[in-house]
Chain A
Amino acid sequence: MIEYTPFDNQPDPMLGAELRAALDGPDGAPFLARMLAAVEAEAAETAWDVLGRWAPRGLVAAAAAAALFWVIVRRADPGPQGPVASAPVQMEVSPAQPEATVLTVSLLEGR
């Protein structure tokens, strides 16, 4: 076997051949066939397959988010505040000068 130095730039062909032989097996062709089959199976998976796998989880998450949103909205909403006085009533009751919008509404309502 040759003497090695840290400055060797060339592979040792004998050692390389022995390493390959030690790490290779007799089953190279079946191994490659298995690898190709695995990649093929991965490639055969369509976008719909992926979506189908994620859909149940997505639906559950969407339902949970909707329920949470509904609860928050219900808590934030104080409910009906009672009947709103019409424009003429507001004009009669309020001591202040009516705003332009109230006058406009009053005209539109024909009162």
Chain B
Amino acid sequence: MPSGARTGVRRDPGPGGPQQPSSASRIDGVDDAELARRTAAGDGEAFGELVQRHGLPARRVARAILGVGEDADDAVQNGLIAAWRAIGRFDRRRPFRPWLTRIVANAALDLRRRRKVRDAAPISEYVADTRVKPDRAADHALFRERLRDALATLPEKQRIAVVLFDAEGYLHAEIAEVLGVPEGTVRSYVFHARRTLRRALAAFGEDVKEGTP
């Protein structure tokens, strides 16, 4: 655990949003490895910057596992605290985000085990009744709801794999490391997940066509 660390971070991300740090920051342009080193040396601001950079992608991964709710945020929080404690053991020759993602994903899986949340159920809880035929005004919001619904039907590892590959830009090898499966298995997960999503979204398109006057 970093000794005497304080996350003296910029709480207000400013109008540029959380992923665009202030240009006045002394840690602009500093890479993740250096931020991790500074964090391990007790620099809380450095860890705050890492949270700013990777917090939202970590949340998306947690939501892919637990659904869009407070559980996912709790998992991210647990994961970030675990990462902060373990930052001294992070291998700085490797990319930071997969390391953090693995910790957050494990925290999410652990939370789900403890709370005995049914697999795939949480996401659909947040989805409106998709049997309602959409009209064009509902469009994108409904499309996203349908996408979340389709995601919820996927087996967990397929869900994580497709989110990491298509949404977060991870390589197959990195996903394999996160999931603890061979790279070829990750390719299979991504392929099958995409096919399922494609079918679900194609059906949505048909619904839209039918609903068009």
Contacts and interface: CB of A to CB of B under 8 A. Distances in A.
A33 B6 CA distance: 14
Given A1-B202, A23-B63, A29-B17, A11 B9 contact: no
B163 interface: yes
Contacts of A37: 11
A22 B188 contact: no
B73 A31 contact: yes
Q: How large is the interface on B (under 10, 10 to 19, 20 to 34, 35 or more residues)?
A: 35 or more
Contact of B163 (A19, A29, A31, A43): A19
Given A28-B56, A38-B81, A40-B44, A11 B169 contact: yes
Interface string B170-213: 00100000000000000110110011011001100000000000
Contacts of B2: 43
27 contacts: A11-B166, A16-B169, A18-B143, A23-B60, A23-B64, A23-B68, A24-B56, A25-B68, A28-B56, A29-B12, A31-B59, A32-B13, A33-B11, A35-B76, A35-B80, A36-B9, A36-B11, A36-B51, A36-B52, A38-B80, A39-B7, A39-B44, A39-B84, A40-B9, A42-B81, A43-B2, A44-B6
Contacts of B96: none
A22 B197 CA distance: 13
B134 interface: no
A15 interface: yes
Please report whether the interface of chain B is mostly helix, strand, loop or mixed according to DSSP.
helix
A4 to B, nearest CB: 5
B191 A6 contact: yes
A88 to B, nearest CB: 68
Given A8-B190, A25-B68, A18 B144 contact: yes
Q: How large is the interface on A (under 10, 10 to 19, 20 to 34, 35 or more residues)?
A: 35 or more
Contacts of B81: 38-39, 42
B52 A32 contact: yes
Contacts of B143: 18
A101 interface: no
B84 A19 contact: no
Contacts of A21: 144
Contact of B6 (A17, A31, A40): A40
Contacts of A5: 191
A32 B187 contact: no
A17 B197 CA distance: 14
Nearest to B144: A22
A35 B144 contact: no
Nearest to B167: A19
